[in-house]
Structures are given as C-alpha cells and as structure tokens.
Structure 1
Amino acid sequence: MPGTPVRGVTDTQVIAGSFRRIDEGRRDPRVRIAERVYLADRFRAASVLDEPVELVVTPLPLPGVLAQRTGVAESWLARVACPPADLAMIGTAAWLREDLSACVGSPVDSRCATVPLASYVLPEGTGVATWSTRIMSAFRLADHLPIPRRFLGAILDGYGAIRYLNDIDVPIVVCVIDRSLCDESAAEVVMQARNANSQPVMLHDVCGWRPPAGIEALAFTVAL
C-alpha cells in the first residue's frame, strides 16, 4: 500500500524509504520510493519495514570471503534486504565502530573482495539503509537493561561491558578480553560464570573453529 516503509536492494544499492506507487502501465515498469523513481527490474530483493523511515540510499555491502565460507553468499541480497537485526555489540561505541572498519580478505582466494567487518554485521547508525547489529555503549548500558528479547546474541568488549554479563539474558554471549592488560577483572567475571554450574563446550567439535596463535578461547553453557 502507498506509504508502506520498504527496503529494496539492487545490484549496487540499498534503498529504504516510503513506497509510493508502481507504474506497470508501461513497457519498463517503474517504482517510486519517496521522491525517487527506479526501474522495477533493478530490484533483486525487498522487504517491508516495521517502522517509518526517511529515504536513505547507501552502497550495497559486498559479501566477501567470510560470507563465502559461511554459506550465506548465495542469499546475500535477500539477507541485506531483511537482516535478522538480532545482535548487540556492547563496549566503547567509538572504538567498536573503528574496529568494524578493519578489512578482511583472503590471501588464497582472489575472487573474494576485501571488505570491512561492518559489511558482515551491518551496524545501526545515522544514514544507513539496512542494519543488523545494535551498537550499545557500556557506559550507559545500565539504563537500557534488560536487553530486548529480540536480540539472540551479544558481544561484550572489555570489562566495562563484561561486568554486566550476569544481567544480559540472551542465548549467546561472546566476551572479548584483552589479556595484555594487567587488570584481570574481566577474566574473573567470566570465570565466575564458568564455575557456576556450567557445562563446557568444545569449540572445535561444535563450531568447527580453533583459535589462532596468540588467542585463547573457551566456551560453556549456563542455565538462563
């Protein structure tokens, strides 16, 4: 219906805005979103949004090597049109956004473009046409607890976020600890959770992943 907020994906762009009309009475049908008009056959995927949105047009994020390896490259356009929007990243917001600008490529597969990490997690922000990840400031997290149940995962970066580990009720939580720091407070919070009637998870068996050199990792489940 006219006025419905929509998101459309072409081969090069992501467009979010208010649907106006589709003109099918011509050889090359046109779609009007807000004040812009597009050829209908340019769209490869589309979705209806839950909330009104001002017109935003951004370049299409490329899938890159990680999408190829995880099997989502084939459905990438549909994923960008309707991302899950169920991940929260909690820490120092400015640092997290800077980290997401780091690029990931493959030295052995030149077919995969080198793309920033933001292309995979699609962080929410001003002037973005699609998003999947809410970036939350650890400094203000206490004012936003509990985290909405639509979030299925949370990444806690540093002690400022990890200290709220027991207050975050989502199915999957990843804690990122900088072991080069002398302060062991973040590690202690995680170990307390591990010692509280937890069950170990073997990362290689369950996730098919081994931490690279210089990184230590452990996983466990706890009752919610």
Structure 2
Amino acid sequence: MAGNAIYELSGVSRVYGDVAALAEASLTIRQGEWLSVVGPSGSGKTTLMNILGCMDTPTSGTILLDGERLDRQGERELAVIRRRRIGLIFQKFHLIKHLTALENVMVAQYYHSMPDENEAREALERVGMGARAGHLPRQMSGGEQQRVCVARALINSPSVVLADEPTGNLDEANEQIVLDLFHQLHDEGTTLIVVTHDATVAAQGQRQVILRHGRIDQVVETDDYRRAFGAAAVDGQVA
C-alpha cells in the first residue's frame, strides 16, 4: 500500500532553447505507489523520467526525493543519489554485448558498491534467468535480455524503479513475465514509475499521469482511467 510522499514536484519546468519540454509540473508520488506515465510522443514523458531519475535537473521549480532537494544538486551528487536509490529499466536494453548476463549485473554492482557474484546470481534467479547467467546478450531473446535488465536494476535494492517503455520490444508472453515481476516488486513496497504507450501496461498502475504538450493534463485513478478511456482501452494503445 502506498504511503508517505517519496517525490514532491512543484512547478517543475525543463526548457530547451525556446521549447518547454516540461511545463509547470506539480505532482506528489507516494512511497510504494505504482504510477503509470502516458501521453503522445513529445508530450514530456522522457523529460519527466530523466528528472525523476536524477539524469537531468529542472530549469525551474522544485523536486524533492525523500525530502531532499534534487534541483539543487550537481551532476556528481545526482549520480550518487541515482546509484543508491533508483533502479533504471529501458526499452533498449543497454546490455554490454561482450559480457554475460551475470557480468552485466555485476557491472551495476561495481558502480554501487563491490561486485558480489553470489548476490548477482541471486538477482538473476529472482527474474528466472539463473540458468542463462553465462549467456551473452546475442544468445538471449528480447524477453530474456529485459529480465537481465530488471535484475541489474534491482541489484542495489532501490526504493524507486523507473521504467521507460519496458515492454515496448517484447511479445505478449514476455510482456506478462515482466509485468509479473513488477507486481512482485510492488507487493514488496517498491515505488514503480512506468512510462508506457501500452494501455495494458498503463492500467496496472494505481494512478496514471497523462501528459500533453509538456503539461500534466490529468492524474486519474485506475478505475477512473478505465471509465475515461473505455473498457477496450486495456487491449489497445493510449495515445
């Protein structure tokens, strides 16, 4: 069950030249919440994720993570916060091609603390990839690679997992495997923030933030979301 605020955004904007990729976004994300972020291309989804993931800072406004001001941090400080508190999962897997599944997870350990092979193996076992620990990315399917990415994201026991189109390259069966993993994480109290175009994935969240033209257009609860888009939305795409 979601608890106290983990993120608090107030009037957050990110401007590139004359373009506001994100404009005056105010949002509270509760600890342990599963939040879906949806909207058309160019609506500001990736910009919002980059700011939440400590990969970018706002041009104006304030953002707090567990009460700590992120908008006042430099690149080095943000990198430390990201390593310690945030797990990142992307549509493009970003696995190192010449490293095995096990070694890819251990690289993430290196940046967080110290590599621990047993701990890395346990992470792979957790996502059903223990038997594939010695395989290179080219020897794995897309779904298997994404599960390695989930293991890599979890190796530092993050309080927040940010996922950008995590099922975008997966077939239906592998999408369900990844969603099942996300449900396990959510049940354990992990805060999940998932950017997606897929209504089936979006409907898993407790709330959906709908972005349009760089602004938060709506924030709706799951049941309201189903009513707003119709029952058929869970089988289609959210624009």
Same fold, TM-score > 0.5, yes or no:
no
- Under a length normalisation based on structure 2, what TM-score does the superposition of the two structures give? 0.29
Structure that is richer in helix per residue: 2
Max Rg structure:
1
Higher relative contact order (CA 8 A, sep 6+): 2
